[in-house]
Amino acid sequence: MLNKYDVFNPGYFQSDELSEFGFKHVGKNVKIAKNCTIIGLNNIFLGNNIRIDSNVVISAFSGFLDLGDYIHIGGDCHLYCVGGITMSDFSGLSQGVKIYSGNDDYTGKTLTNPTIPPKFCNVKIAPVYIGKHAGLGSGSVVLPGVSIGTGSAVGALSLVTKSLDDWGVYFGSPVKRIKARSKDLLELEKKLIEENKLKFPSF
């Protein structure tokens, strides 16, 4: 009988279950909410220590999604992977982030939407790269061809239309650099890695 406290909690698939589903690779300590929509499992690489929360949509029927280690993807994020999306170690997405590695041409010169044959469209397809320790705030949108530099942080509700340099804090629509971001977290990264080596020598 279902526990009343679990009625609205879909739970998570764990690494041992996920490894049987057909992903390209599944690392250790991976958790994906059971109510996510994920297409193209064979094009998705999952590193270690990853959590993907409820109602995330990942479309990788073409292209790819590569996730490094220590990555969090918040609820209601959408990742459209036709051009390829890479998230490096310690990067993360807050709730409702949208990442597009393919985008229609809205100038009016071509037709749009996926029901139209490709010869009538002009879809821009280009990879998106999110660097190590980079983070995107809730509701942000990233367009094709963008690289977000190592250590950079993007504020909530921002529109990222161009690549961002390393170790900056960015905000706005379109984003503008606000200030430099501290690198103190690099020392914490070293401590975390050392602790893991002591606890899990083969990790």
What is the domain partition of the chain in residue ranges? 10-199
H/E stretch holding 197:
helix 185-199
* Structural element, H or E, at residue 196: helix 185-199
Residue 200: pLDDT band (50, 70, 90) is low
pLDDT tens-digit profile of 26-46? Answer: 999 999 999 999 999 999 999
Is the pLDDT at 202 greater than 60? The verdict is no
pLDDT (0 to 100) of residue 2:
63
- pLDDT range class, residue 172, cuts 50, 70, 90: very high
Residue type, 137: G
Mapped onto helix, strand or coil, the DSSP state of residue 97 is: coil
4: confidence class by pLDDT, cuts 50, 70, 90: confident
Residue range 10-199 in CATH 2.160.10.10: yes
Alpha carbon of 55 to those of 6, 12, 38, 76, 92: distances in Å?
Answer: 17, 12, 10, 5, 16
Virtual torsion, Cα 141, 102, 43, 55, nearest 10 deg? 40
* pLDDT for the residue numbered 196: 83
